[in-house]
Chains A and B, each alone.
Chain A
């Protein structure tokens, strides 16, 4: 009995420590965003909403433009990625073809290239295509970049769905497309949700491509936008940056809470009970 109490106390302490460790930066961000003098040196805490007023109100900061760009780019990227990945995963797990393992490994290998090694060529290609500073310039590389991850998640998810389900569907009269859209996709909805959300978060947080391939508020995304916030005299406006960052976490937080049930299912409960 005593040992149990002790171990549950220890677990609790460890959990608190981990939570504190992960959340501390967010708390600091949150606190700083409401501080009138967000400075290490001056110290003190003077509550204010001015930072939020600035971020949302001052046109020249373009915060809302950045947010819109980010949401559009991330949404399009994640939807396209999941669509492509589920088709590919279906082919790899269900259709008869040679070299499936090779395809998967190849896709994985492609995703190993460091972003930095690609960015130069990507910049040239986008310039040639006259796509610099457009959504397309970001959406295309994002899809390519996230696709391997999405594919791997979905392949492992599809592989867990019993093949009898497909066979039953075929006997019930389904074509291959109907098997995918009427059986496999609905059954793997939790997996698809978590894949879509992960893709969204990846695209939403991406920095380097966005930095290089966009030039102004018309297509610049939020991570880059915030990083390039500047005060009137070239100083770093910490208060505004933190306020913008806080606002930026909201959509992600919202999605995660909204689809929490599906995501937890998707990540933990792989097996589909027939």
Chain B
């Protein structure tokens, strides 16, 4: 199912003020795509998800599932969630605590008045896919967080929805489980081939899961690209800062005649960089320690990550974070480093 989000706006009005949560969102989610909405809290990503689900109406623009109009400014175009054939997985699982796991998964089918035979078949199949068959007679309260989230996913896929929506589904799980579930989720989506929209504030989730990722801030799409595209070609300073760990180095400088200078050394600016005052962005992985490097600095601190370490190196007034495999350096050591060619980003300031 292809989802067309055309100029969608959402404004909440109270007596005192109007809050624009979404300003003119244009996105097309392809059929069978795993699409991620990424952004900090308050950016409007969950609101957009609710609009796709049909939990909230739009105040501008329109929403289409395939060719079918499901929401527009016109109230009579609004299609109820149950008639959109969407399913949703929530951060806090939202399982029905009074029902067994079996009944939780069966719930959408029961509401749709499916036959007992069919319900049994579908529930058992979903449970098998999510590996929770042995818990079917338990109550949600008896399950662990990871198991509850599996039940929630099983409930979502049980009636073969056209669109699967995830609202930060992994945020309540501990780190280890989160990674494991993430991998499984990706596999599951591939197998089922259901168009998926996934909301998260976690860039790692977004990068690993999404076929494409839309970065949202202040109700606007900042950039829509593949994960690698976001990392390598950030459209603006916000995206550059939001994506990537350790965070990108940003310095105030100026582009003159196609070069910018840092700590007294000149570097070629990217071809499309504007002239004048800019933010120069350099990823810690694009800096390398090198004898004869153009920049001289002194190690302030070192953070060990395992295979690599992040060195915080001060050079004049500036501090660089450098991702390096060298772990023998200590505080106060003098180092020389340089920028890998063609890796700098410049954003107008």
A interacts with B: yes
Where the two chains meet, the residues of A that have a C-beta atom closer than 8 Å to any C-beta of B are 162, 164-165, 167-174, 178, 182-183, 186-187, 189, 272-274
- Chain B residues closer than 8 Å to A272, beta-carbon distance: 97
Contacts of B53 in A (CB 8 A): 167, 171
Q: List 18 A-B contacts (CB under 8 A).
A: A164-B90, A164-B92, A165-B94, A165-B96, A167-B50, A169-B96, A171-B55, A171-B82, A171-B86, A172-B155, A173-B82, A174-B82, A182-B111, A186-B96, A186-B99, A187-B98, A274-B95, A274-B140
CA distance A20 to B331 in the complex (A): 72
Complex Cα distance, B93 from A272, in Å, reads: 13
Residues of chain A within 8 A (CB-CB) of B140 are 273-274
User: Is there a chain A Cβ closer than 8 Å to B112's Cβ?
Assistant: yes
A163 — nearest CB in chain B belongs to which residue? B94
Q: Smallest Cβ distance from A273 to chain B, in angstroms?
A: 5
Q: Contacts A162-B92, A167-B53, A274-B140 known; list 16 others, CB within 8 Å.
A: A167-B88, A167-B90, A167-B94, A168-B88, A170-B55, A170-B82, A172-B82, A173-B82, A186-B96, A186-B99, A187-B96, A187-B98, A273-B141, A274-B93, A274-B95, A274-B97
Q: How far is the CA of A171 from the CA of B159 in the complex (A)?
A: 12
Q: Give the chain A neighbours of B98 by CB distance below 8 A.
A: 186-187, 189
A50–B178 CA distance with the chains assembled, in angstroms? 73
Q: Which residue of B lies closest to A167 (CB)?
A: B55
Q: Counting CB contacts under 8 A, is B107 at the interface?
A: yes
Q: How many residues of B contact A (CB 8 A)?
A: 27
Contact between chains at A187 and B90 (CB < 8 Å): no
Q: How far is the CA of A142 from the CA of B140 in the complex (A)?
A: 39
Q: What residues of B have a CB within 8 angstroms of the CB of A165 in the complex?
A: 94, 96
Q: Considering the complex, which residues of chain B in the window 43-80 have a beta carbon less than 8 Å from any beta carbon of chain A? A: 50, 53-55
- Determine the chain A residues whose CB is within 8 A of the CB of B86 once the complex forms: 171
Q: Would you list the 8 A-B pairs with minimal beta carbon distance, nearest first?
A: A173-B82, A164-B94, A168-B94, A172-B108, A173-B111, A186-B98, A164-B90, A171-B88
Asked if B87 is at the interface (CB within 8 A of a chain A CB), the reply is yes
The answer to whether B193 has its CB under 8 Å from any CB of chain A is no
